[in-house]
Homo-oligomer: A and B are copies of this chain.
Amino acid sequence: MTSQTLEVIKTTTHKPKPDPEALGFGKYFTDHMLLIDYHSDKGWYHPRIVPYEPLTLDPAAMVFHYGQTVFEGLKAYKDHDENVRLFRPEENMKRLNRSNERLSIPTLDEKETLSYIKELVRLEKDWIPTAAGKSLYIRPFVINTEASLSVAPSKTYTFLVILSPVGSYYSEGIDPVSIFVEDFYTRAAPGGTGYAKTAGNYSAAYKAQERAVEHQRSQVLWLDGLEKKYVEEVGSMNVFFKIDGEIHTPEINGTILEGVTRKSVIELLRSWDLPVHERRIAMDDLIQAHQNGTLEEAFGTGTAAVISPIGILDYKGTEYTINNNKTGDISNRLHNAITGIQTGRLEDPFGWTTVL
């Protein structure tokens, strides 16, 4: 992608802003969207911001049949001085390209693409909710668009970015969730697509989520696809455990998603001189630690909820309660530190913030 001029076509009909108390997640969208097209003869071309509008696609468009689809998720926050802040957006651009690579989608120029995303967010800055816990969710994604049923990478793609004002993930504070440890369905196996943010990883997980709900649990803890012995992720979050004063999280091995929140949590904990071990974690060792009384805390990390404490693990019919089903100190401290940096409430000693 050679440097190109961004075309901007502004809407003449602005939508009413939704009630900030009833935002939910990904239900409302702003007035504009960003598009960049790809053709195998031209590369990525024609970056443009246009009014938010439906897409028109041939029913044979490959996205409906052999979807090469990847996406990202990050947030824009408004601080007390009305500055717009992004949290480590370069990391999302890098991961977008790792996902592209796995799905045989041509990679995008990360810097240039990010500069267009910033333009879009600037244009829509009045849509960023200001109340605590609320933000503007940014959803970049790629779809394959060639109208052909041959099973082969598409010759054409479109990269899009849409924006959605979203509420706080939790109604009040950060309450612990109860988790069903999934020992039948598999999220990802070595040599598969686990490290990519691609549609198939999410829709294939709904059966497991149904099973968790049947067991009155709100989310799934995934085990490894090979032996169903080692912990991988929780729902759409990375997972951490505090055992005997030290923090443990599954290592990056090709089957789990490399979360931006995960990375930030590790860096924060280390800056606080807390030992963090990225390693293979056996479910049996967690149970052992629980029995010894050394499993002190567990929590998930992700853009949507930032930190989500785990109060209960339901594994093979037994319920294991962690930290009396209360939010732990580390969870609280991390949540406060990360949301503080994201929203400009706290200093950012790491240089994680981009102010627009």
Residues on A facing B (Cβ under 8 Å): 24-27, 29, 33, 52-61, 63-69, 71, 102-104, 137, 139, 141, 143-144, 148-153, 160, 162, 164, 184-186, 188-193, 198-204, 206-207, 209-210, 225-226, 228, 236
Is there contact, CB below 8 Å, between B150 and A25?
Answer: yes
A184 & B189 in contact (Cβ 8 Å cutoff): no
Cβ-defined partner of A190 (8 Å) among B58, B186, B204: B186
Q: How far is the CB of A133 from chain B (nearest CB, A)?
A: 17
Chain B residue at minimal CB-CB distance from A24: B150
Q: Are B202 and A203 in contact (CB under 8 A)?
A: no
Pair B200/A151 contact, Cβ less than 8 Å: no
Q: List 12 A-B contacts (CB under 8 A).
A: A24-B150, A55-B58, A55-B59, A55-B64, A57-B57, A65-B141, A102-B207, A104-B210, A153-B206, A189-B225, A199-B199, A199-B200
Number of copies of this chain that the complex holds:
2
How distant is the Cα of A29 from the Cα of B149 in the complex, in angstroms? 10
- Specify which of A61, A69, A103, A144 lies most central, judged by the most chain B CB atoms within 10 Å of its CB: A69
Contact of A200 among B26, B143, B148, B201 (CB under 8 A): B201
> Which chain B residue lies CB-closest to A164?
B149
Contacts of A33 in B (CB 8 A): 59
CB nearest to A154 among chain B residues: B203
A139 to B141 Cα, complex, angstroms: 26
CA distance A69 to B63 in the complex (A): 9
Contacts of A152 in B (CB 8 A): 206, 209
Q: Are B64 and A59 in contact (CB under 8 A)?
A: no
Tell me the smallest distance from the CB of A9 to a CB of chain B, in Å.
15
A189-B192, A190-B186, A206-B153 known; A199+B148 contact, CB < 8 A: no
Q: Which 8 A-B pairs have the closest CB atoms?
A: A200-B200, A26-B149, A186-B191, A189-B189, A67-B199, A104-B206, A66-B202, A68-B203
| B65 contacts A204, C-beta separation under 8 Å | no
Q: Which of B56, B63, B184, B188 contacts A63 (CB 8 A)?
A: B63
Which chain B residues border A204 with CB–CB below 8 Å? 102-103, 192-193, 198, 200
For A160, A162, A203, the residue with the greatest tally of chain B CB atoms inside 10 Å of its CB is: A203
A54 and B147 alpha carbons, distance in the complex (Å): 10
Cβ 8 A contact of A60, one of B29, B151, B185, B199: B29
Q: Name the residue among A63, A164, A204 with the largest chain B CB count within 10 angstroms.
A: A204
In the assembled complex, the CB of A121 is this many whole angstroms from the nearest CB of chain B, namely 16
B64 near A143: Cβ-Cβ < 8 Å: yes
- The residue among A164, A191, A193 with the most chain B CB atoms within 10 A of its own CB is A191
